[in-house]
Amino acid sequence: AQSVSQHNHHVILSEAASLELGCNYSYGGTVNLFWYVQYPGQHLQLLLKYFSGDPLVKGIKGFEAEFIKSKFSFNLRKPSVQWSDTAEYFCAVTGSGGYQKVTFGTGTKLQVIP
Amino acid sequence: GAVVSQHPSRVICKSGTSVKIECRSLDFQATTMFWYRQFPKQSLMLMATSNEGSKATYEQGVEKDKFLINHASLTLSTLTVTSAHPEDSSFYICSARDSQGAPEQFFGPGTRLTVL
């Protein structure tokens, strides 16, 4: 069975600080990896995704994530956060090929202080 | 971009009544839609996978007779919470995969169900 773990449940940063949110997954095969963001009062939006190719993936709003296969990790990074990045971030994994279900991590709540 | 809508966005009902939630893919066809439940301060829990023209696949522990899913067309899936009880109060979110596109899911805005 596939699983996703996010190590940080609640992160508080000052504006301009750098961000790294951890994500590790467990899956016995080729994976597709995603980071979703949920801003307060809004629905889930895709930040970035990895299917294959370059393991360093760039997403919207200056976010990037690196797939490290040997570590089963897909950490999310941003060099300088803004107050508007305050949201909940979910890492997700699905097996590649076919209509396989997506498994979400428990989420990390990011609070950016102005 | 791909848009998924849900209706209603918020519903309050009495215990024992049934509530239907609609999920629509507005600008793409989705042979597969997913229904999730999100408890406060927790992640999304997949309830079932809805397949157009066939029976839904339910996750372990989800009562199929309580959460009825119908995927009658390529753009519409419905979730009916039957004989709702206060413990069914939650945030229900659907997602859809574009039949022609990449294996990513597009999420609806969610439906807040409150059972009194």
The residue of chain B with its CA nearest to that of A98 is: B103
How big is the A-B interface in CB pairs under 8 Å? 47
Torsion of Cα atoms, B26 then B28 then B80 then B48, to 10°: -140
What average pLDDT does this structure show over A25-47? 88
Provide the pLDDT for residue A14.
97
Provide the pLDDT for residue B66.
96
What average pLDDT does this structure show over A12-27? 96
Choose the weakest-confidence range: A34-38, A64-68, A108-112, B104-108: B104-108
pLDDT digits (tens, 9 = 90+) for B18-76: 999 999 999 899 888 999 998 876 778 899 998 888 889 999 999 999 999 999 899 99
Of the residues B23, B50, B95, B104, the best mutation for testing chain A's interface (the one with the most A CB atoms within 10 Å of its CB) is B104
> pLDDT-derived band of residue A45, with 50, 70 and 90 as boundaries?
confident
Provide the pLDDT for residue B112.
93
Cα B108 from Cα B94, distance rounded (Å)? 5
Rounded to a whole number, what is the distance in Å from the CA of A9 to chain B's nearest CA? Answer: 10
pLDDT digits (tens, 9 = 90+) for A83-98: 999 999 999 998 776 5
Assess whether pLDDT exceeds 90 at residue A57.
Answer: yes
Provide the pLDDT for residue B104.
77
What average pLDDT does this structure show over B88-109? 86
Provide the pLDDT for residue A7.
87
> pLDDT-derived band of residue A37, with 50, 70 and 90 as boundaries?
very high
Query: Which residues from chain B sit within 8 angstroms of residue A42, using beta carbons?
Result: 109
3-state secondary structure B51-79: ECCCCCEECCCCCCCCEEEEEEECCEEEE
Provide the pLDDT for residue B72.
83
Rg, C-alpha atoms of chain B: 13
Assess whether pLDDT exceeds 80 at residue A52.
Answer: yes
Provide the pLDDT for residue A112.
97
Query: Contact B9/B93 with Cβ under 8 angstroms?
Result: no
Assess whether pLDDT exceeds 60 at residue A47.
Answer: yes
Provide the pLDDT for residue A98.
56
Cα B89 from Cα B94, distance rounded (Å)? 16
Q: Give the residues across from B95 on adjacent strands.
A: B34, B107
Q: Is the peptide bond before B8 cis (omega within 30 degrees of 0)?
A: yes
